[in-house]
Amino acid sequence: MKAVVLAAGQGTRMRPLSESIPKPMLPVADRPLAAHTVDAAIDAGADEIVLVIGYEGEMIRNYFGDEYRDVPVSYAVQEDQAGTADAVNAARDHLEGPFAVLNGDNLYDPAAIADLFDTCPAVCAIEVDEPSNYGVLSTAAGRVTKIVEKPADPPTNLANAGAYAFPAKAREWLEVSESERGEREITDVVSQVIDAYDVTPVTLERWLDVGRPWELLEANEWMLGELERRIDGDVSDGATIQGNVVVEAGATVKPGVVIEGPALIREGATVGPNAYVRGTTLVGPDAKVGHAAEVKNSVLSRGASVSHLSYVGDSVLGRDVNFGAGTNVANLRHDEDDIRFTVKGERVSTGRRKFGVVAGDGVKTGINASLTPGLKLDTGATTLPGETVDRDR
């Protein structure tokens, strides 16, 4: 079966991280986010991957090329990001026979994707506590009977998990009209399939929709949690490596460093001397954790640097961020309330008691900067030496 992977979106809720890199290419453990989706499709037996690209699509094309893990990859360009049905419609000329559709910004339980492929027509579903935030499935006698977007009064707690196996006929139903929120939505295609076929719900044990920066952190928590210890890099005898830590070839861990897994230190990265890395951390390619710096439960993208005597917790640093010496990130409020973060101009709860800062590509802090919880620093933003930064910039 062909798998169409949707990766054309603008990722506006992920800004500033998605400003010059498409959300599907953001780092999750040792691969871009979308590579996890494509891997799940290939593991499930996909014989061709069709990637729908648009926003910053060339980066996606460059990564996957024409063949990925010996499976042919083709591309469909969605010019305007007019919705998920419109995205699949952009791939229409690539489709014949039954086909699967997966979101390129979701992490799936791979075993369930294999079930999805074996059970066409089918829709992946997951039980959630607050279904009104999702598309919700109604079921009867083991079949999906209805799908409704974000209902005020949800009929079940089964959320649509954005993975579908469609019969060939669905190719004729991709041109749907605009929904109330002005998008051409794949759920309207699913509704037509439900009317014409028996559609099976395939229940996922685990699923993550990666839309906002703290969900990128959660995606890394999930995937780094699956690491098996492997030390290929240059690790000093004076360093202590505990648990499931991967140090890739070309990475350097200096004396006095303590790394508590799960952690991934990627090629070209340098840690230490005397640094402390803990609590599920990705130190990206060519990134640096300096002398006596502590990094906890964070993502350091390619080339990011946390200089000596700094603390970074529960944070996401974009590419080539440079935190000056003595930069301290606060990740907990005195009232221990959930940390809020600005998404598309609105302060929203992250649902996390601990969350630090999100720094876009190229952010630079001056020495002894103090950064408050839930702070957003836009691409290229700078702070003064000794400054306490408690407003987004």
Site residues (vs ligand TTP, CB under 6 A): 6-14, 23, 52, 78, 81-84, 86-87, 103-105, 183, 211
Q: Is the peptide bond before 155 cis (omega within 30 degrees of 0)?
A: no
Q: In whole angstroms, how close is the CB of 15 to ligand TTP at the nearest point?
A: 8
Q: For residues 298 and 386, give the distance between their C-alpha atoms in angstroms, rounded to a whole number.
A: 23
Nearer to ligand TTP, 135 or 374 (CB): 135
Number of H helices, E strands in the chain: 6, 39
Q: For residues 150 and 176, give the distance between their C-alpha atoms in angstroms, rounded to a whole number.
A: 18
Element (H, E) at 123: strand 122-127
Nearer to ligand TTP, 6 or 29 (CB): 6
Q: In whole angstroms, how close is the CB of 54 to ligand TTP at the nearest point?
A: 6
Q: For residues 123 and 358, give the distance between their C-alpha atoms in angstroms, rounded to a whole number.
A: 34
Q: For residues 7 and 56, give the distance between their C-alpha atoms in angstroms, rounded to a whole number.
A: 10
Sequence length of the chain is 393
**Using alpha carbons only, how large is the chain's radius of gyration in Å?**
22
Q: In whole angstroms, how close is the CB of 99 to ligand TTP at the nearest point?
A: 15
Nearer to ligand TTP, 50 or 300 (CB): 50
DSSP class per residue in 224-287: HTT---EE-SEE-TT-EEESSEEE-TT-EE-TT-EEESSEEE-TT-EE-SS-EEESSEEE-TT-
Q: In whole angstroms, how close is the CB of 82 to ligand TTP at the nearest point?
A: 5
Query: HSE-up of 379 (CA within 13 Å, CB side)?
Result: 10
Q: In whole angstroms, how close is the CB of 184 to ligand TTP at the nearest point?
A: 8
The sign of the dihedral angle between the CA atoms of 272, 273, 279, 280 is: positive
Q: Closest residue (Cβ) to ligand TTP?
A: 9
Angle at 181 between CA 338 and CA 92, to 5 degrees: 110
Distances (CA, A) of 115 to 51, 104, 187, 204, 267: 21, 18, 20, 10, 35
Name the nearest CA neighbour of 101 among 197, 183, 165, 186.
165
Q: Pinpoint the alpha helices (H) of 44-148.
A: 57-64, 84-90, 110-118
* Catalytic pick among 94, 291, 308, 334: 308
Residue 371, helix vs strand vs coil: strand
Write the single-letter amino acid at 79.
Answer: E
Asked if 95 and 2 touch (Cβ cutoff 8 Å), the reply is yes
Q: In whole angstroms, how close is the CB of 248 to ligand TTP at the nearest point?
A: 28
Q: In whole angstroms, how close is the CB of 172 to ligand TTP at the nearest point?
A: 20
Q: Catalytic site residue 334?
A: no
Q: In whole angstroms, how close is the CB of 388 to ligand TTP at the nearest point?
A: 30
CB count in 10 Å sphere of residue 345: 5
Residues carrying an active site annotation = 308
